[in-house]
Amino acid sequence: MEVVVRDRTGEIASEPIEIVVTPKTLRQAFLPIVIEGFCKPNHSLLLQNYPNPFNPETWMPYQLQYAAQVAVYIYEVQGSLVRTLDLGQRATGLYHSRPYAADWDGRNNAGELVTSDVYFYQLRAGDYSAVRRMVILK
């Protein structure tokens, strides 16, 4: 049997996982499936931050097809860099839940709270780069 993990949009989010079905598991009508660690995504992806709009903090889920140095850059609408989040080396995997995603406290590089506005965040991970929009409402 083959198990495929799909993301919230229904797209395939990992390589197929092969599970062996034996006569014993068929007789028991029970098939234990163990997925160790994170699945390997088919592609890297930056997802929408949550919540959006937000106040005072938000998190940005992503996934990595390959291990890479990961950083998130937050920009004002005019293009000025507001904050850099250096996430360091990250393994292949899904970083979809808050404890694993990139987290931003709504502060600039000087530690000051930013104003209500539209901002853009860019994920850079190896050769992969993607940008999304977010809104702070206070």
pLDDT, tens digit, 9 for 90 and up, residues 72-129: 999 999 999 999 999 999 999 889 888 899 999 999 999 999 999 999 999 999 999 9
Sort 116 into a burial class: Cβ within 10 Å, 0-12 / 13-18 / 19+.
exposed
Handedness of CA 125, 127, 132, 134 (dihedral sign): positive
Mean pLDDT of 40-65: 92
pLDDT the model gives residue 64:
95
pLDDT the model gives residue 50:
94
List the chain domain ranges: 45-136
Q: What class, spelled out in words, does domain 45-136 have in CATH?
A: mainly beta
pLDDT the model gives residue 12:
67
Query: Which of 106, 61, 60 has the alpha carbon at shortest distance from 83?
Result: 106
Identify the residue with better confidence: 52 or 109: 109
Q: Which positions ≥6 away from 57 have C-beta within 8 Å?
A: 103, 104, 105, 106
pLDDT the model gives residue 56:
87
